[in-house]
Structure 1
Amino acid sequence: MAVNLLPPDPAALHVVPGVRIGVSQAGIRKAGRTDLTLFLFDAGTQVAGVFTRNRFCAAPVQVCREHLGPAQCGPVRALVVNTGCANAGTGAPGLLAARQSCAAVAALVGVPAQEVLPFSTGVILEPLAVDKLVGGLPAALADARANAWADAAVAIMTTDTVPKAASARIVIDGVPVTVTGIAKGAGMIRPNMATMLGFIATDAPVDAAVLAQLAREVADASFNCITVDGDTSTNDSLIVAATGRAALAVISAVASPQAQLLRQALTAVALELAQAIVRDGEGATKFITVAVQGAKTRDEARLVAYAVAHSPLVKTAFFASDPNLGRILAAVGYAGIEDLDVGGVDLYLDEVHVATLGGRHPQYQEADGKRVMAKPEIGVRIVLGRGDAHATVWTCDLSHEYVSINADYRS
């Protein structure tokens, strides 16, 4: 059951000029549900990608990297996305299947295969039924339209219980600019991306190098700040497309005011999508914000935040609404800061001051901790007392249902 997360309102998802999307039932996953999505971009669209750091990355990730080149940004006319099969751990046949997918889309819409990017999500170590994918493309193309973002959000789901989409409009130099995106993910989620697919588009005109930098910064501020279970997937991908249809001068400098405004809008949409993934974490009943302050560096703050957010003992305590908060201090202690002075660490649960000076706060009462732990949304704040750096990570609890979902996933 997702934590305070509702399906997106299709009417609230703004059309991005220069983008059309179609979906179809290809039979790759299960009969009776859409499992194939086709994004079509107008000529001149620039696309930047950020991908998994898992060395066992899936075939579509490898092909995406090849097509985008060293800068991981370039002209792209189409994306093809399937659910039901990750096409990971599939060796040379998997690469061939990913390339055949691109070739089939290219032939169908009349663009170079190099300008098509493939994406897959589902079970690892299974061959992709590329014949079914190719067979579903004509229906997806026939369905392509500008207002299909909500349909696409449903079509890319796997173990998600709620489709995930977000949208924003801003004004740059007096010109309206749109940002809309969708994402999928509920399990195998941890920083450096996860079993997560994210597709965000804007009509702003953006230089390729600037777009690549913005995509990295947006990923780092959103999708790289979430964790459900600590597993880094083989397929995670974030795509940011800029169609250039807005009547603006090309944004050609990362430090420009125009780029800063666009970054804010892209990050806002990406953060809403990333937090939706955590809220819909497999079996999640609690949404938890872990904020670490007073660190020497941001990396140090993230190290501590992830130690807490990944801890099965911490996560199961949250599921049980059990204020066994020494588990949080233990995670802080083993995070890897060798010279940490535990006497300078303060721990807060929402507004409740739990620990200080190396031990329990004198005024802390377990009843206060239990009251906070019973909430569906909880804040953990850790003050290290070492500097001014900070970081925030979003996570969820670990429930019986998580085990059931992943035990039964292939049945």
Structure 2
Amino acid sequence: MAVGDDSYGPLHSVSGVRLGTISAGIKTAGRKDLVLIEVAENTQCAAVFTRNAFCAAPVTVARENLHSCAHQPRYLLINTGNANAGTGSAGIEAARTSVQTVASAAGVDVSTVLPFSTGVIGEPLPVERLTQAVPAAFNALSAEGWAAAAEGILTTDTRPKAHSVRFSCDNQNYVVTGIAKGSGMIRPNMATMLAFIATDMAVEKTLLQALLPQLTDRSFNRITVDGDTSTNDACVLLATGEAGNTPVNDVHCDLYHALHDAVEEVCISLAHSIVRDGEGASKFVTVQINGGRSEAECLEVAFTIAHSPLVKTALFASDPNWGRLLMAIGRADIPKLDVESVRLYLNEVLIAEDGCRATSYTEEQGVVAMAPEEIVIRVELGRGAATATVWTTDFSYDYVRINAEYRS
């Protein structure tokens, strides 16, 4: 089950990036579960990772390698079917063995290889299957490999997630292409699940690393399916420099603004795709909070609504049980909230104001507002000028089934 159209348009190749996707038999025989991404020398790399204290072994190793000042990344190795998380020192050794295998095959320093994993937590990574498949992954490398890679990184996802943008600035053409995976255990607390984005623009590394968290905060950090932050979340932004421009090093220049807008479009599109494919999702829900004293205050209300199981099950039932929404707004950690100043809307239908049901509201209006696949919950707090928007899903029977059967 997923919400909306599953098409993502053409995926433009990024000069300096090749991708290879194969089956290593990590969990299910015949399933594409291993992706190798190769980038040109001198590619600049920015990354953000999970803040979960039980971070996965590949997160630890990727961080270590990125912090090495000697080399920029040349290869990214992504496996599905096994998270290699909660695996202790053996998991660290397995991640290091994986990157060493790639480094040896490519003749590069081991610190230039970054590992990423997704799947079941707490089970040993079948590292022998992975390393034996590395030569086939090299043979599969192709500049046109984005679509196959988008499928190869999926777990409980029902469809691939990808977006690509071509844009021009100062009479020169550029491209940004990205893929992501994520369906459950989604409440990113840095970036998200797994996402890999690349551009052919040349960008100074410090600026690239400053740009990524800024944009993930406005996209991946504004989505939630179930309120849980994965042990393996990672988002990587690569700039190959193959377009030949002078490296961007000024946030005030036109080229930076063009890059910012293109990467933001890709991030938001991928973030929306994750919500639309949330485990068991039948609704795509925009929670828009206006009139707060600060953005943080608005986000507090938005996520309280988006995380409420009672709200989410009412959404699944298309039940305009607006009392659950008032409950969520009221329990958000907002000091001295004047409930009589709050107005609540469902798809532009005024539901509640002055601390109670709006005099203009009818149950029939509520039923109509809750029926579509796409719903906007809008709250006017009436206490300031700040706003914030979060995207979420409902909770269906399928969400419970998928997670109950996850390890079977």
1:308-348 residue CA offsets vs partner (Å, 9 max, x unmatched): 00000000000000000111111111110021111111111
Structure 1 partner of 2:114: 117
Match of 1:139 among 116, 119, 136: 136
Q: Is the 8 A contact 1:194 1:231 kept in 2?
A: no
User: Residues of 1 paired with 2:240 and 2:349: CA distance?
Assistant: 48
Q: Which piece of structure 1 moves more, 171-180 or 314-323?
A: 171-180
1:184-218 residue CA offsets vs partner (Å, 9 max, x unmatched): 01000013157710000000100000000111111
Structure 2 partner of 1:149: 146
- Aligned pair in 2 of structure 1 residues 195, 30: CA closer, same or farther (>3 Å)? farther
Match of 2:18 among 17, 20, 24: 20
Q: Which piece of structure 1 moves more, 396-405 or 329-338?
A: 329-338
Residue 327 of structure 1 pairs with residue 324 of structure 2:
yes
Matched position secondary structure for 2:2 = coil
Match of 1:56 among 54, 57, 72: 54
User: Residues of 2 paired with 1:190 and 1:223: CA distance?
Assistant: 8
1:291-310 residue CA offsets vs partner (Å, 9 max, x unmatched): 00111111111111000000
Match of 1:357 among 349, 354, 363: 354
Q: CA deviation at 1:255?
A: 3.2
Q: Which piece of structure 1 moves more, 250-259 or 88-97?
A: 250-259
User: Residues of 1 paired with 2:135 and 2:374: CA distance?
Assistant: 44
Q: Is the 8 A contact 2:49 2:233 kept in 1?
A: yes
Match of 2:389 among 388, 392, 402: 392
Structure 1 partner of 2:3: 3
AA of the residue aligned to 1:353? L
Matched position secondary structure for 1:75 = coil
Q: Is the 8 A contact 1:214 1:254 kept in 2?
A: no
User: Residues of 2 paired with 1:385 and 1:22: CA distance?
Assistant: 52
Match of 1:249 among 246, 251, 262: 246
AA of the residue aligned to 2:142? R
AA of the residue aligned to 1:120? S
User: Residues of 1 paired with 2:79 and 2:164: CA distance?
Assistant: 23
Q: CA deviation at 1:7?
A: 4.2
Matched position secondary structure for 2:241 = coil
Q: Is the 8 A contact 1:175 1:247 kept in 2?
A: no
Q: Is the 8 A contact 1:5 1:162 kept in 2?
A: no
Matched position secondary structure for 1:347 = strand
1:256-295 residue CA offsets vs partner (Å, 9 max, x unmatched): 3221211110010011011000000000000000000111
Residue 287 of structure 1 pairs with residue 273 of structure 2:
no
Q: Is the 8 A contact 1:5 1:280 kept in 2?
A: no
Residue 306 of structure 1 pairs with residue 297 of structure 2:
no
Q: Is the 8 A contact 2:68 2:111 kept in 1?
A: no
Percent of pairs with identical residues? 54
Q: Which piece of structure 1 moves more, 76-85 or 171-180?
A: 171-180
Match of 2:127 among 119, 126, 130: 130
Q: CA deviation at 1:247?
A: 2.4
Aligned residues: 408
Q: Which piece of structure 1 moves more, 184-193 or 84-93?
A: 184-193
Q: CA deviation at 1:29?
A: 2.0
User: Residues of 2 paired with 1:334 and 1:404: CA distance?
Assistant: 29
AA of the residue aligned to 1:27? G
Structure 2 partner of 1:340: 337
Q: Is the 8 A contact 2:275 2:393 kept in 1?
A: yes
User: Residues of 1 paired with 2:297 and 2:289: CA distance?
Assistant: 9
User: Residues of 2 paired with 1:406 and 1:129: CA distance?
Assistant: 23
Q: CA deviation at 1:33?
A: 1.1
Residue 79 of structure 1 pairs with residue 76 of structure 2:
yes
User: Residues of 2 paired with 1:158 and 1:224: CA distance?
Assistant: 20
1:207-218 matches, within 5 Å, as 207-218=204-215
User: Residues of 1 paired with 2:45 and 2:31: CA distance?
Assistant: 28
Q: CA deviation at 1:70?
A: 8.7
User: Residues of 2 paired with 1:21 and 1:376: CA distance?
Assistant: 35
Q: Is the 8 A contact 2:71 2:111 kept in 1?
A: no
User: Residues of 1 paired with 2:290 and 2:219: CA distance?
Assistant: 18
AA of the residue aligned to 2:58? P
Structure 2 partner of 1:65: 63
Q: CA deviation at 1:248?
A: 1.3
Q: CA deviation at 1:254?
A: 2.5
Matched position secondary structure for 2:28 = coil
Matched position secondary structure for 2:224 = coil
- Aligned pair in 2 of structure 1 residues 46, 28: CA closer, same or farther (>3 Å)? same
Q: Which runs of 5+ in 1 are unaligned?
A: none
TM-score normalised by structure 2 residue count: 0.98
1:127-158 residue CA offsets vs partner (Å, 9 max, x unmatched): 11111111111111001000110000110000
User: Which portions of structure 1, spanning 4 or more consecutive aligned residues, are displaced by more than 6 angstroms?
Assistant: none
Matched position secondary structure for 1:124 = coil
